[in-house]
A and B are shown apart, each in its own frame.
Chain A
Amino acid sequence: MCGIVGLYIKRPELEANLGGMLSDMLMQMTERGPDSAGFAIYRNPVSPGQVKITLQSSDPDTDWEAIQTCVQAEIDRKATLSPVANHGILIARLDNKVDNEAETEALLNWVENNIPGIKITSIGYTIEIYKEKGSPDQVIRTFGLNLMAGTHALGHTRMATESAVTTEHSHPFSTGRDLCLVHNGSLSNHNNLREMLIGEGIRFTTDNDSEVAAGYLTWRLGQGATLNQALEAALEDLDGFYTFAIGSKDGFAVLRDPIACKPAILAETDDWVAMASEYRAIAQLPGSENATIWEPEPATIYSWERS
């Protein structure tokens, strides 16, 4: 069992409250997932020519300033690193003379190979991913989610059933630039799929089944599929139980497997669109009593995007 929440703000004045609203939702999902929690928040887009990377450290006493100096020396351009507990938001200016993708890839490789104990949780222009072992309450307080502003966010509370309880096994999982996945359920063909995807050049850091779903979407998107096409293909290729919420730069999407035994509820008002494993998470939001509420159909993609 796990809990999923997602919130997309339609009225810009409410963006300041995004973190607070998502915290209230996440707290309601504590019983569904008490062992770890995480969230992806879309905020503070970087300028064109910059890239934003979330770093996560296994060492609570990480010297983020030293890492910043290191990165600055390596890429010989402006880079800033803002720590948030044991995570750090690295914003690096890219040298626009060469291909941005290749340059970002080179930077990621350099970080992974040269800064010990550091993992990359997200890459993009607006996304930041924070995750940690512990109850949702602890995770919210550690990162100060309740005070964060942004346009949209996804959250996850984990009750591990398929693999170990560690930060790396926690959700959300990055699936590419500004993309992430949270999952409630369990996949039964993840070992075969992982082998296939490794053959296709997708990297995995854990034995987690949800990471395979994330890797699968990364692979499909990398082949040029749109998010909807990638999800359509996932319906064919992923075997098991799932409710997915997928965050993108401009919105989020929800997909349930054809059996649909993992719960999901969607709600919309003039001010926001929300998804959650259970209504009680949505009940925390202002205006929920007058929201349009429905249960997403099995094997059907629902998505919202900022135009």
Chain B
Amino acid sequence: MQEFDLQDSGVRDLNSALHQADAEGESFVVANPGGKHNVAAGAMFSCDVSVHGHVGYYCAGMNKNANITVNGNAGPGLAENMMSGKVRIKGNASQYCAATAHGGLLVVEGNAAARCGISMKGVDIVVRGSIGHMSAFMAQTGCLIVCGDAGDALGDSIYEARLYVRGSVKSLGTDCIEKPLDDEHKKEISYLLKQAAIDDVDVDEFKRYGSARELYHFKIDNVGAY
């Protein structure tokens, strides 16, 4: 196990350790992050990182393979462009978490703020609480599960990402509609909730939202608009 106290050492020391091949299989414990930026960004190997405290911008950005847990809140840009691996936040996440993320799983145990999963490209996101406005804007693929409520303009200009919300949705964005919740979707929700270690939520309570596919195909009727 390697320990990093960010009060004494810089974030770069931690991150360069995570970029070395011998991080594979290793455990890292990070103390006193104090809201610093880029904590555990760019991890490339399968390892466990446990952060004790609140982190600032871009925590776990570009994560590949690592299993990162933050025992606290995360600032803007959490797990931005994550490729694979798992990121878990015990508290709340600020805006645009998992933006453009291609893969892996992000679990937010608290709430996520505005623009959660904006332009997501294959990541799976499970939020125990609620999410803010403009979430899943232009979401391309992957799955967003929200056990609480969603803010305004959910899934605006969405492509093929799959959205499941258990509570209320304040409003749907352009070209995002509610769709029937079939067995295959319930199976997907069950699987991801299990991955997120959430076992007290009834799968039948979710509603599914996705693209009406009216916006992203060129339509000759709209030619005058160009």
Contacts and interface: CB of A to CB of B under 8 A. Distances in A.
Interface in A218-234: none
Of A281, A282, A295, most B-chain CB atoms within 10 Å: A295
Interface residues of A, number: 16
B121 to A, nearest CB: 21
A294 B56 CA distance: 14
B207 interface: no
B114 A298 contact: yes
Contacts of B34: 280, 283
B32 to A, nearest CB: 9
A298 B133 contact: yes
Nearest to B111: A295
B95 A280 contact: no
B114 A279 contact: no
A281 B36 CA distance: 10
A278 to B, nearest CB: 6
B114 A263 contact: no
Given A280-B56, A293-B54, A263 B35 contact: no
A263 B36 contact: no
Nearest to B91: A293
A260 B95 CA distance: 9
Contacts of B133: 260, 298
Nearest to B54: A279
Contacts of A65: none
A261 interface: yes
B54 A263 contact: no
Contacts of B53: 289
A278 B35 contact: yes
Given A289-B53, A293-B54, A298-B133, A280 B94 contact: no
Contacts of B18: none
Nearest to B93: A295
B76 interface: yes
B73 interface: yes
Of B35, B53, B113, B133, most A-chain CB atoms within 10 Å: B35
B94 A295 contact: yes
Of A28, A279, A280, A295, most B-chain CB atoms within 10 Å: A279
Interface in A35-71: none
Given A263-B75, A293-B54, A298-B133, A279 B35 contact: yes
A298 B94 CA distance: 13
Interface string A267-305: 000000000001111110000010001110010000000
A307 B73 CA distance: 32
A282 B34 CA distance: 9
Contact of A279 (B56, B95, B113, B132): B56
Nearest to A258: B133
B84 interface: no
Interface string B81-92: 000000000001
Nearest to B133: A298
A261 B133 CA distance: 11
A48 B76 CA distance: 46
Contacts of A261: 95, 114
Contacts of B95: 260-261, 263
Contacts of A260: 95, 113-114, 132-133
A261 B95 CA distance: 8
Nearest to A260: B114
A260 B92 CA distance: 16
A280 B114 contact: no
A298 B132 CA distance: 9
A283 B54 contact: yes
Given A263-B76, A280-B36, A294-B92, 13 more contacts: A260-B95, A261-B114, A263-B75, A263-B95, A278-B35, A278-B57, A279-B54, A279-B75, A283-B34, A283-B35, A283-B54, A293-B73, A295-B94
The 10 closest A-B pairs by CB, nearest first: A280-B35, A279-B35, A283-B34, A283-B35, A279-B54, A295-B113, A280-B56, A260-B114, A278-B56, A280-B34
22 contacts: A260-B95, A260-B113, A260-B114, A260-B132, A260-B133, A261-B95, A261-B114, A263-B75, A263-B94, A263-B95, A278-B56, A278-B57, A278-B75, A279-B54, A280-B35, A281-B35, A283-B34, A293-B73, A295-B94, A295-B113, A298-B114, A298-B132
